[in-house]
Amino acid sequence: MKVAIFGSGFGLYGYLPALLTGCGAEVVLPERYKARLEGRSDVRHLVDRIEWVEDESAALDRAGAVIVSQRPADQVRWLAKILPRAEPNRILLEKPLAPDPLQARDVFQQARNSGKRIRIGYTFHYAPWAKRFAQALERSRPDCEFTINWRFRAHHYATGASNWKRFVSAGGGALRFYGIHLIALLAEHGYNDALWSSIAAMRPDEAEIWEAALVGPGLPTCRVVVDSNSAHNSFSVAAGPDESPFIGLEEPFEEVERHGLFDPRVDVVARLCREFLAGGAPLLSWYEDSIVLWSKVENQTKILVRSNHDQN
C-alpha cells in the first residue's frame, strides 16, 4: 500500500523512516518536501526510495493511506478535504487532533462517521514500559495513589523558538501537546475525570508546567506532572508518594530499540504504523474516551502566570 505523508517535520524524520524501514511501505511525497529531506543528515539517504509527485492532491490520488503530521489547525483543514474522497481509506492524524478539545471532538466525530480506518499518534501506548504500567494498575488498590512525573526541556524553550508547540491557543504547551499523551494512556485504562488541574507559565498563552489529579472507577488516583521547561530530564511512575518508581527513565522512549541516526521514537512509531496499515477495528474505542477526559481536564484547569522570582 502506498502511504502519503503531509508534514515536513516529524512526518519526515519520524513517520517516513518508520514506514520505509519498519513497515516496508511505499511512500508518496509532494515534490516541495525534497529539499527539506535532503537537508537532514539522518534521513537524506531515503530520498531515492520515495515516489515524488507534484503536490498533496497528486499524493492523495496515488495513496491508499495518508499520515497528516502538521499543526492541529492544519489537520482540521486537511481532514475536511480528505474525508469526502473514496481514497485514501486510512488516515493517521498526529496529536492533538485539533487546537482544543471542543474542535477535537468535532474532528473525531467527522472521522468516525466516515467509516475510514483512523489512528492517532498516541505513541506512549506502544512504549515498552506501557505494559508494566498496565500490570501495576491491575495489581493496585483504589485507595493508593500513582504519580507520573515527566520533566524535560522542550525544543522551543531550549532554542527560544516561537513555534506553535509553545502556545496553548495553537494546541501546544505542557498540557495540550505533551500531556495529551498521558491523558490518552490513562483514558485507555479507564480514567474518566479530573479532581483538579493547573498550568503554570511565565507568559499568558503558554503552559510550561501542567499538574493534575485524574480518577476513574475502581482506579487509584493518578497525579501527573509535566514540566516542559525543566533543567533535567526524567520520566518516572510510582505507586505511592513514598514508593520508589517502578518506571524510572531519563525520557519516555529510552527503552526502545534505536536505529542508527534516526529519531529515537521511530521504533514505537513503526509499531503504530504497522497497526495502522494492518486489518482490524476502524477506530480504537479509547480515542473518544481520551477526548472526553481532555475536555474534563481543561474544564478544571486553573492558570497561573508566574514571575521570574517564582521560576525554579
CA dihedral 91, 92, 97, 102 (to 10 degrees): 40
**Shared-domain flag, residues 179 and 223:** yes
From 73, 91, 121, give the residue that closes a domain: 121
**Shared-domain flag, residues 100 and 145:** no
Q: How far is CA 163 from the centre of its chain?
A: 17
User: How many independent structural domains does the chain possess?
Assistant: 2
Q: What is the pTM of this model?
A: 0.96
**Shared-domain flag, residues 181 and 303:** yes
**Shared-domain flag, residues 52 and 136:** no
**Shared-domain flag, residues 102 and 166:** no
From 121, 136, 151, give the residue that closes a domain: 121
**Shared-domain flag, residues 140 and 35:** no
- Rounded CA separation 103/178 (Å): 18
Domain that holds residue 292: 124-254+283-310
> DSSP string spanning 89-115?
-EEEEPSSSSSSHHHHHHHHHHHHHHT
Residue 182 carries which side chain, given as an amino acid letter? L
Residue 64 lies in a domain: yes
* CATH for 47: 3.40.50.720
Please give the helix or strand (H or E) that residue 181 lies within, else none.
helix 180-188
Joined together, the cell numbers standing for residue 296 give 474534563
**Shared-domain flag, residues 145 and 218:** yes
Please give the helix or strand (H or E) that residue 2 lies within, else none.
strand 2-6
From 121, 147, 175, give the residue that closes a domain: 121
CA dihedral 79, 84, 87, 88 (to 10 degrees): 10
Residue with cell 503504530: 272
For residue 182, give the nearest of 151, 140, 142 by alpha carbon. Answer: 151
- Rounded CA separation 272/181 (Å): 14
**Shared-domain flag, residues 65 and 141:** no
Q: What is the pLDDT along the chain (312 residues), one digit of tens a residue?
A: 999 999 999 999 999 999 999 999 999 999 999 999 999 999 999 999 999 999 999 999 999 999 999 999 999 999 999 999 999 999 999 999 999 999 999 999 999 999 999 999 999 999 999 999 999 999 999 999 999 999 999 999 999 999 999 999 999 999 999 999 999 999 999 999 999 999 999 999 999 999 999 999 999 999 999 999 999 999 999 998 778 999 999 999 999 989 889 999 999 999 999 999 998 889 999 999 999 999 999 999 999 998 764 554
